């Protein structure tokens, strides 16, 4: 694994939690924060790649046929 030395400003709470975790796991602070960053990046990529569920229209019967893409029509129907 390649690494780059850099300086970052890290939220105090995140730093404290990372320090606790690094002591618990006997890993360096750099290893812990890098792991968390990779996990966060993977999570972000997964969320971006999820496809939105396809919405299918269902005929519920009845007399009214309202075009839900026509806001004026369904607003008029609600008002009547």
Q: Does a structural domain hold residue 62? A: no
Contacts of 34 (CB under 8 A, 6+ apart): 3
How many residues are listed for the chain in this entry? 80
Structural domain for 19, as ranges: 12-49
Q: Does a structural domain hold residue 21? A: yes
Half-sphere exposure (CA, 13 Å, Cβ side) for 21? 14
Q: Does a structural domain hold residue 56? A: no
Q: What is the DSSP letter of 26?
A: T
Q: Does a structural domain hold residue 35? A: yes
Query: In the chain, how many domains are there?
Result: 1
pLDDT band for position 1 (cuts 50, 70, 90): low
Q: Does a structural domain hold residue 24? A: yes
In tens, the pLDDT along 63-78 reads: 666 777 888 887 887 8
Q: Does a structural domain hold residue 31? A: yes
Instruction: Report pTM.
Output: 0.58
Contacts of 5 (CB under 8 A, 6+ apart): none
In tens, the pLDDT along 34-66 reads: 999 999 999 998 888 877 777 787 777 776 667
Nearest to 24, CA basis, from 35, 8, 39: 35
Largest CA distance in the chain: 69
């Amino acid at each position: 694994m390649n690494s780059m030395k850099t300086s970052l400003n890290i939220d105090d709470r995140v730093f404290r939690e990372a320090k606790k975790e690094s002591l618990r796991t006997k890993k360096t602070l750099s290893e812990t924060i890098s792991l968390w960053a990779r996990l966060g990046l993977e999570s972000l990529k997964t969320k971006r790649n999820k496809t939105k569920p396809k919405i299918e229209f269902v005929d519920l019967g009845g007399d009214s046929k309202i075009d839900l893409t026509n806001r004026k029509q369904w607003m008029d129907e609600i008002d009547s």
